[in-house]
Amino acid sequence: MIQPALLTALRKQNPLVVCLTNTVTINDVANGLLAIGASPVMGDEVEDVVQMVAHASGLLINTGTLSGGNFEMMKAAAEKANARQIPVVVDPVGIGATAYRKNFNLQLLQAIRVDAIRGNAGEIAALAEIEWQSKGVDAGEGDHESVVAAAKKVAQQYQTLVAVSGVSDFITDGKQVVRIDNGTALFPKMTGSGCLFGGIAAAFLAMENSLTALETAAATYAIAGEKASEIAEGPGSFRLQLMDALYQLNEADVKTQVKMEVVING
């Protein structure tokens, strides 16, 4: 179950999280991590990134925008993180959109050890080789049972934690599955909302590399989104209000406002 005290610990320790995120959402990831209390740093050169990981507490790899040198940079960064035993979170953005994107992500996941994979339902289904109706980086459509099955399969295949973002978030270690029903319909209207969750997941896992920490990250982020949506008038103001909500959120908010259920226990 969640540990709201991890939010306080995160703010006290201010973990350095190296974010190899996509160019579309880099600003939101940086500002969101700063707002919640972490310290983000970005880079795109192999030597520079590896040296940053040598001093970091966590690593986010987001494959939203790909280029020829990305693979070696991401692989080298993850290998350094693996050697230092700091958490690696991979966000395989739009993995089902093209064969190139799918092959890139699969080769990366086979080459490194990951502590968590974050994606929407369509992305996790693509990793699990389950048919899914989606396009581009959209989540697509499917029932909760299919989402749970895909998440468990990916967690077991890669021996990792999995977080599926959506109307409800599903978090699993391949055995236990938890559903979090906080959140807002405005999340998918903001490009980068999922990418930011990946960064926040890496920050929480830097505090404690566990299923509980990932559940807490998901609950914290979803509650912040819920609070932001109560004030926002649309996607534009939601982005601004989300940053403030992440900054203002406290342990009591997370403890009292979480809507969470264990749907599979072991």
Host domain of residue 56: 4-264
Q: What are the pLDDT digits (tens) for 233-262?
A: 999 999 999 999 999 999 999 999 999 999
Tokens representing residue 121 in the block: 């339902």
Best CA proximity match to 221, nearest among 136, 163, 175:
163
DSSP secondary structure string for all residues of the chain = ---THHHHHHHHH--EEEEE--TTTHHHHHHHHHHHT-EEEE--SHHHHHHHHTT-SEEEEE-SS--TTHHHHHHHHHHHHHHHT--EEEE-TTTTT-HHHHHHHHHHHHHS--SEEEEEHHHHHHHTT---B--TT---B--HHHHHHHHHHHHHHHTSEEEEESSSEEEESSS-EEEE----TTGGGSTTHHHHHHHHHHHHHHH--SHHHHHHHHHHHHHHHHHHHHH-SSHHHHHHHHHHHHHH--HHHHHHH--EEEEE--
Tokens representing residue 4 in the block: 């709201």
Side by side, the strands of the sheet bearing 161-165 are 39-42, 16-20, 58-62, 88-91, 116-120, 161-165, 169-172, 177-180, 260-264
Binding residues for substrate, as ranges, are 42, 192
- Tally of domains in the chain: 1
Q: What are the pLDDT digits (tens) for 5-18?
A: 999 999 999 999 99
The lowest-confidence range among 122-131, 136-145, 230-239 is: 136-145
Binding residues, as ranges, are 42, 118, 165, 192
Q: Across the chain, what does the average pLDDT equal? A: 94
Q: What are the pLDDT digits (tens) for 178-231?
A: 999 999 999 999 999 999 999 999 999 999 999 999 999 999 999 999 999 999
What is the C-alpha separation between 229 and 245, in angstroms, rounded? 10
Binding residues for ATP, as ranges, are 118, 165
- The CATH number of residue 184's host domain is 3.40.1190.20
Inter-residue contact 146 to 129 (CB < 8 Å): no
